[in-house]
Copies of this chain bind each other. A is one copy, B any other.
Amino acid sequence: MATIYEVSKLAGVSLATVSRVMNDPSKVSEKTQKKVLAAMQQLDYRPNTIAQSLASNRSNCVGVLVSELHGPIFGTMVSSIEEELTRAGKFTIFTAGHSDAATERKGIEFLAGRKCDALILHVEALHNEFFAERQNRLLPFVLLNRFAPGLEENCISLNNELGGYQATRMLLDIGHHQIAYISGPLEWSDAKARLSGHQRALAEARIEFEDDLLVEGDYHESGGVRAMQRLLELGRPITAVVCANDEMAAGAMEVIRNSGRSIPEDISVVGFDNVRWSKFLYPKLTTVEYPVAEMSRMAAKWVLKNVYREPQVDLQYVFHPRLICRASAAAPAQGQKPAPAQVATGKKAGAGS
């Protein structure tokens, strides 16, 4: 590989001049610029980004830590971020945290070691305090999908509580009274928030929340299966179930179908996330949209604005979920309102926002 030195020799200029045509061409006369460019071409010169980083102490590179590198949610995160950053001419380095505190720490260190200019972090295990302590010591960072009091300006988050509310509120509106809930792991704040949205909707409708009708799941399909089985074994006249994510909803739907019941005639199902394949389910899943792509792009923009000083970006810190009405939820058989879910809720469900 040709180096900047060889280029300078061939072009008959100094090494600094070559560097200038790459970083600030305005400081070089057109003529020498052409000579240098020609020499670069001829030698098929590519700058060594490693050396650039070392010398400039910037890497034009932002580090991204996500829990996993695959799956509909994380996949969307990763590719949305990359897209936005690439468009701005920045590079991206990804690493996985696997929802484990030690791994997450190591990931952050890895990224810091690679001299990233900024960090976009989707962590699940590390606590808010970890970041509060490091707010000034660590390189610039945004927390994606987290709301940390005191760090509001570093957080891009979703109003999960509202999402939970929207789902249950819609079911109540179309006449359901016996609504079960399959939650995510309740030690996680998003799972907690979605559940309390559900509870708020119930309270508002003066329906008592019953512990029996809540099963804690794990955000996985298998967890949805187990949870739904437990729910059916209860023998209660459940007419609807809201699942804290689509993955578990897929599991729940299968159990419901296998039990001889039909969806939504016997039991309505509502999911959360609106992952890509949720509309491939049968019936198509009614769910609450988690706008991962926009939020991820916003995290990238945060970096563009705060680190690379791009002026014309408007930041939004908190995002709102949105109910997507499809076919898996409808009025209960004995319900008063004959209107299908799609119509009945289109207007009302948004009221909470």
Residue numbers of A with Cβ under 8 A of B are 46-51, 53-54, 59, 68-72, 74-76, 78-79, 82, 86, 91-96, 109-110, 112-115, 221, 250, 254, 257, 277, 280-282
Contacts and interface: CB of A to CB of B under 8 A. Distances in A.
B50 A54 contact: yes
A48 B57 CA distance: 11
B69 A109 contact: no
A109 B75 contact: no
Contacts of A59: 50
A341 to B, nearest CB: 19
Contacts of A95: 82, 91-92
16 contacts: A48-B113, A48-B115, A50-B114, A68-B79, A69-B78, A69-B79, A70-B72, A78-B78, A82-B96, A91-B114, A92-B95, A250-B277, A254-B280, A277-B277, A277-B280, A281-B281
Nearest to A254: B280
A78 B109 CA distance: 21
B82 A78 contact: no
A277 B257 CA distance: 17
A270 to B, nearest CB: 16
A197 to B, nearest CB: 25
A281 B113 CA distance: 44
A46 B280 contact: no
B280 A49 contact: no
Contacts of A115: 48-50
Best-buried of A47, A49, A50 by chain B (most CB within 10 Å) = A50
Contacts of A69: 75, 78-79, 82, 94
Contact of A75 (B47, B75, B113, B254): B75
Nearest to A277: B277
Nearest to A77: B70
B79 A91 contact: no
B71 A112 contact: no
B94 A49 contact: no
B113 A46 contact: yes
Nearest to A250: B280
A175 B86 CA distance: 52
A79 B96 contact: yes
A254 to B, nearest CB: 8
A112 B46 contact: yes
A90 B88 CA distance: 28
B78 A46 contact: no
Contacts of A96: 79, 82, 86
Given A75-B75, A280-B277, A113 B70 contact: no
Contacts of A75: 69-71, 74-75
A210 B115 CA distance: 59
A74 B95 CA distance: 15
A207 B341 CA distance: 48
B114 A49 contact: yes
A306 to B, nearest CB: 21
A227 B115 CA distance: 49
B54 A51 contact: yes
Nearest to A280: B250
A337 to B, nearest CB: 26
Nearest to A284: B254
